[in-house]
Chains A and B, each alone.
Chain A
Amino acid sequence: MKLELGNIFIRDIRFDSVSKVEKGILFVNADELRDHLLEDENIKSVSLEIARPGESIRILPVKDVIEPRVKVQGSGGIFPGILSKVSTVGSGRTHVLKGAAVVTTGKIVGFQEGIIDMSGPGADYTPFSKLNNLVVVCEPVDGLKQYAHEKAVRLAGLKAAAYLGKLAKDVEPDEVKVYETPSLKEGIEKYPDLPRVAYVQMLQTQGLLHDTYVYGLDMKHSLPTMLYPTELMDGAVVSGNCVSACDKNTTYHHLNNPVVHDLFAKHGTELNFVGVIITNENVYLADKERSSDWSAKLAEFFGVDGVIISQEGFGNPDTDLIMNCKKIEAKGIKTVIITDEYAGRDGASQSLADADASADAVVTAGNANMLVSLPPMEKVIGHPEVANVIAGGFEGSLQQDGTIVVELQAITGATNELGFNKLSAR
């Protein structure tokens, strides 16, 4: 399967009377987009805001971040099974508004989470401070049930991103990158001497605001399966989770998965990137056992020499992580796990809830318990008072002058376990 990604670099975003992309500037007709989103009868109001890198703006609570993309050639459409019909994506050509994003916020279900600061010390911890963001503030109709509310805001974000993505359809990209995955047989013939490597991506599937969707299917109801890596780039996997926002994968992360991109960079020279095994993180022990059995079985069947496993979230998913690692190692396949740590504010406590001797190659994305102080911003989009109740926050987190003192886990993407961030402790 072969996909061309045409990147169109966006350096600014502005409201205008006509939505278009011109000379690296994304113009948005706010009325037109608002009307489009208000077609959902579950949404009472939508307001649109712009947040650019370096501005004194704080966004919270953040539900999702989505990169605008559009299918230009090939089967299916962006976000198949959700916005587009179920049809296999990942081939042909896709255009990307690189440097732009849609951020969704609104008071959702009482415990939606995530902070994005566009400047100041908090901006260093989230990759989304570097993007030209269109912030979609959605409020539901009165009395809307929690699950319907979550779905309405999830869809609003995807729709807004698809609306912007369509503007890129006839724009000449600034660069075109090609990603190709051969079939198992072709891969073995083409790269007989290269080590075969698969990527096991664990997806959060634990209930309301902790779910992930694959071609529209709630992944908790699926057994582990495989994807061509390029399917991810066309929105085959969509985020429905944001609680303890530091280590949850937004839809933006799935579209731009750095494990996939780094493996592609070495594909054909240092290794043979065979494909992606996706698995879930369910709340029943039997599910955890079954799913990890399955991911190990798939890795064995693909005949790989090594596997990279990324976790999503922390706590009980640490057990899914260790089960995957242990069972895949038991097949004689080398593993590296990517995780983060909850080691207490002083970093002295045990980092993971579970452990095993076979987990001897570990990449950490940082300690989510670390306290950070986020100075006040001139403008807050959303609801600042939630700082006191979100994971990582506590009574008194929001101070009189607007300063927020929280654990790192409250910041969207701060310890992302796909390794999306650039900060290091070296």
Chain B
Amino acid sequence: MVKEIERAGLPVVHMCTVVPISLTVGANRIVPTVAIPHPLGNPALSIEEEKELRRKLIDKALKALTTEVEEQTVFEQ
């Protein structure tokens, strides 16, 4: 899906836990997430902490979306 949307001319950020698979299938902008069963959350946290975690992940993804890349890039920070 990442590749088909990019083929249509729209940049894509792939948010995923298993970064190596994302690299293998050819995503260009990759944001690592929390865990396979809960990529964008963490049931071990309180609701407030989890909200903050989610917001940070989304902010990071939006920043990645607006960043020019020359090659496959993993946005660690």
Q: How far is the CA of A207 from the CA of B34 in the complex (A)?
A: 15
Please determine whether B37 and A353 come into contact, CB atoms closer than 8 angstroms.
no
Contact assessment for A318 and B21 in the assembled complex, using a CB-CB cutoff below 8 Å: yes
Q: How far is the CB of A166 from chain B (nearest CB, A)?
A: 39
Contact A283 B20 (CB under 8 A): no
Is the beta-carbon distance between B36 and A322 smaller than 8 angstroms?
Answer: no
Which chain B residues lie closer than 8 Å to A316 at the CB level? 17-18, 21, 36
Is the pair A285, B32 in contact by a Cβ cutoff of 8 Å?
Answer: yes
What chain A residues lie within 8 Å of B18 (beta carbons)?
285, 288, 316, 319, 353-354
Distance in Å from the Cβ of A362 to the closest Cβ of chain B?
15
Which of B21, B24, B25, B35 meets A283, CB within 8 Å? B35
* B residues less than 8 Å from A318 (CB atoms): 21
A206 touches B36 (CB 8 A): yes
Binary CB contact string for chain B from 30 to 43 against chain A (1 if under 8 A, 0 otherwise): 00101111000000
Distance in Å from the Cβ of B2 to the closest Cβ of chain A? 14
> Given the complex of chains A and B, what is the CA–CA distance between A66 and B37 in angstroms?
29
Judged by a CB distance under 8 angstroms, whether B65 is at the interface is no
Q: Does B53 contact A (CB under 8 A)?
A: no
The reply on A227 being an interface residue by CB < 8 A is no
Q: Which of A284, A323, A353, A354 contacts B17 (CB under 8 A)?
A: A284
Cα–Cα distance between A207 and B20 once the two chains are bound (Å): 21
B1-51 residues with Cβ-Cβ distance < 8 A to A are: 17-21, 24-25, 32, 34-37
CA of A354 to CA of B17, assembled, Å: 14
- A288 to B24 CA separation, bound complex (whole angstroms): 16
| Distance between B17 CB and nearest chain A CB, rounded to angstroms | 6
Docked complex: A284-320 residues within 8 A CB-CB of B? 284-285, 288, 316, 318-319
Count B-side interface residues using an 8 Å CB cutoff.
12
Contacts of A353 in B (CB 8 A): 18, 21, 24-25
B36 contacts which chain A residues (CB < 8 A)?
206, 283-284, 316
The answer to whether A285 and B17 have CB atoms under 8 Å apart is yes
Q: Hey, which chain A residues are within 8 Å of B20, CB to CB? A: 319, 322-323, 354
Question: In the complex the two chains form, is B37's CB within 8 Å of A283's CB?
Answer: yes
Does A46 sit within 8 A of B, measured CB to CB?
A: no
Bound-state CA distance A318–B17 (Å) is 13
A284 to B, closest residue via Cβ: B35
Contact residues in A for B25 (Cβ distance below 8 Å): 353
The reply on A33 being an interface residue by CB < 8 A is no
Minimum C-beta distance from A323 to chain B (A)? 7
B12: shortest Cβ distance to chain A, in Å? 18
Q: Is there an interface contact between A285 and B19, defined as CB atoms closer than 8 Å?
A: yes
Whether, in the assembled complex, A336 has its beta carbon less than 8 Å from a beta carbon of chain B, the answer is: no
Question: Is A355 an interface position by the 8 A CB rule?
Answer: yes
CB distance from A394 to the nearest CB of B (A): 21
Which single residue of chain B is at the shortest CB-CB distance from A288? B18
Q: In the bound complex, how far is the Cα of B25 from the Cα of A318, in angstroms?
A: 13
Contact pattern, A 330-355, Cβ under 8 Å of B = 1, otherwise 0? 00000000000000000000000111
- One of B17, B19, B24, B32 near A355 (C-beta < 8 A): B24
Residue of B nearest to A318 (CB): B21
How far apart are the CA atoms of A206 and B38 in the complex, in Å? 12
CB atoms of A206 and B19 under 8 A apart: no
Which A residue's beta carbon lies closest to that of B39? Answer: A283
In-complex Cβ contact of A354 among B21, B32, B34, B35 (8 A) = B21
Contacts of B37 in A (CB 8 A): 206-207, 283
- Docked CA distance A322–B21 (Å): 10
**Cβ distance A414 to chain B, nearest Cβ, rounded Å:** 24
Name A261-303 residues within 8 Å CB distance of B: 283-285, 288
CA distance A283 to B17 in the complex (A): 8
Q: Mark A197-208, 1 if CB is under 8 A from B, else 0.
A: 000000000110
In the bound complex, what is the Cα–Cα distance between A355 and B20 (angstroms)? 9
Measured CA separation A386–B25 after assembly (Å): 33
Of B21, B32, B34, B35, the residue contacting A319 (CB under 8 A) is B21
Q: How far is the CB of B13 from chain A (nearest CB, A)?
A: 17
Could you give 20 example pairs across A and B, Cβ below 8 Å?
A: A283-B17, A283-B35, A283-B37, A284-B17, A284-B34, A285-B17, A285-B18, A288-B18, A316-B17, A316-B18, A316-B21, A318-B21, A319-B18, A353-B18, A353-B21, A353-B24, A353-B25, A354-B18, A354-B20, A354-B24
- List 13 additional A-B contacts (Cβ < 8 Å) besides A284-B34, A353-B18: A207-B37, A283-B17, A284-B17, A284-B35, A284-B36, A285-B17, A285-B18, A285-B32, A316-B17, A316-B21, A316-B36, A323-B20, A355-B24
Task: Give 7 nearest A-B pairs by CB, closest first.
Answer: A283-B36, A283-B35, A319-B20, A353-B21, A319-B18, A316-B18, A354-B21
